[in-house]
């Protein structure tokens, strides 16, 4: 084809048929431009395909991370509720001046514990490095950034910092004066700790200790409420991602 066009061009020039040669040249330029545009269109289509494939892949990974984070949040709610129940039990025994029972030692050893949620964020961090604009749905993109860059950070910064400050400045100094920690033979790692009161009779009249317990209850209530709201938000986001994945597959 190219050889034929070249011969045709030489024929026009040799015959001094400039007008036809000009038309031929314009046609040749037109064909080249069309070829370039087609190549660009194919390249853009391929890039869109790659972006669409990556978007599905990263959204699927983020959904998996969110499911893992949701399980962590549910466990935190359960743990905080259990430790809060321990505090209520201790206060009930002290306020009603019930006699000491050995079963209280598990509560005495873990009443000040608080949950720590390990959020799975690796997939979202990968997306941020690649560019969050790769998520084509602007509403979903906004929900993702709100979840990972605001809600999870707020929960970590507020609850965990408050717990840490209260523990180091108030709880632990009192706790070490009132209790002696021990571990039963059947104890294993990650189980609640145990502690026995040094003087249970005096403990019943220790209003400062009771006030600290009330403060911890308040903090546990806040933590549980915050995590319950977060769990609902995570579940909603999972549903939104699943809907978007269905749309992208069409």
**How far are the Cα atoms of 91, 181, 228 from residue 94, in angstroms, in the given order?**
5, 19, 30
Distance, C-alpha 65 to centroid of its chain: 7
Can you tell me the distance from the alpha carbon of 167 to that of 175, in angstroms, rounded to the nearest whole number?
A: 10
Better pLDDT: 219 or 27 = 219
**How far are the Cα atoms of 58, 129, 135, 136 from residue 122, in angstroms, in the given order?**
10, 11, 16, 20
Mean pLDDT of the chain: 84
Q: Which of 22-26, 47-51, 176-180 has the lowest mean pLDDT?
A: 47-51
| Buried-state track 209-220, b at ≥16 Cβ within 10 A, e below 16 | bbebbeebbebb
Residue pair 196/182 in contact by the 8 Å Cβ criterion: yes
Q: pLDDT above 90 covers what percent of the chain? A: 60
Q: What is the mean pLDDT of residues 57-80?
A: 95
Q: What is the mean pLDDT of residues 123-140?
A: 94
Instruction: Determine phi and psi for 176, rounding to 5 degrees.
Output: -70, -20
SS (HEC) of 196-236:
EECCHHHHCCCHHHHHHHHHHHHHHHHHHHHHHHHHHHHHH
Task: Identify the pLDDT of residue 207.
Answer: 96
Q: How confident is the model at residue 21 (pLDDT cuts 50, 70, 90)?
A: very low
Q: What is the mean pLDDT of residues 66-91?
A: 96
Task: Identify the pLDDT of residue 49.
Answer: 45
Better pLDDT: 85 or 250 = 85
Q: What is the mean pLDDT of residues 86-95?
A: 97
Task: Identify the pLDDT of residue 140.
Answer: 97
Task: Identify the pLDDT of residue 46.
Answer: 46
Q: How confident is the model at residue 64 (pLDDT cuts 50, 70, 90)?
A: very high
Q: What is the mean pLDDT of residues 39-61?
A: 68
- Residue 95: pLDDT over 70: yes
Q: Which of 190, 201, 158, 198 is nearest to 174 (CA)?
A: 198
H or E element in which residue 136 lies = none
Q: How confident is the model at residue 154 (pLDDT cuts 50, 70, 90)?
A: confident
Domains of the chain by residue range: 67-248
Q: Which of 44-48, 60-64, 136-140 has the lowest mean pLDDT?
A: 44-48
- Residue 94: pLDDT over 60: yes
């Amino acid at each position: 084809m190219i050889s034929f066009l070249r011969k045709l061009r030489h024929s026009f020039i040799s015959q001094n048929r400039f007008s036809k040669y000009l038309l031929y040249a314009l046609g040749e330029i037109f064909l080249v431009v069309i070829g370039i545009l087609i190549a660009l269109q194919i390249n853009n289509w391929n890039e869109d395909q790659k972006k669409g494939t990556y978007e599905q892949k990263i959204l699927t990974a983020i959904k998996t991370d969110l499911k893992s984070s949701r399980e962590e949040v549910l466990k935190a709610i359960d743990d905080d509720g259990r430790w809060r129940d321990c505090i209520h039990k201790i206060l009930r025994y002290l306020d009603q001046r019930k006699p000491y029972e050995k079963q209280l030692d598990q509560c005495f050893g873990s009443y000040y514990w608080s949950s720590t949620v390990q959020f799975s964020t690796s997939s979202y961090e990968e997306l941020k490095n690649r560019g969050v604009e790769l998520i084509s749905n602007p509403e979903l993109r906004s929900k993702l950034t709100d979840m990972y860059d605001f809600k999870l950070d707020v929960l970590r910064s507020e609850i965990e910092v408050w717990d840490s400050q209260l523990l180091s400045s108030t709880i632990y100094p009192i706790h070490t004066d009132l209790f002696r920690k021990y571990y039963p033979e059947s104890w294993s790692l990650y189980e609640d700790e145990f502690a026995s009161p040094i003087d249970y009779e005096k403990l019943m009249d220790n209003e400062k200790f009771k006030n600290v317990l009330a403060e911890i209850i308040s903090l546990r209530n806040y933590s549980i409420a915050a995590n319950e709201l977060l769990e609902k938000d995570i579940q909603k986001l999972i549903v939104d991602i699943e809907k978007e994945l269905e749309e992208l597959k069409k």
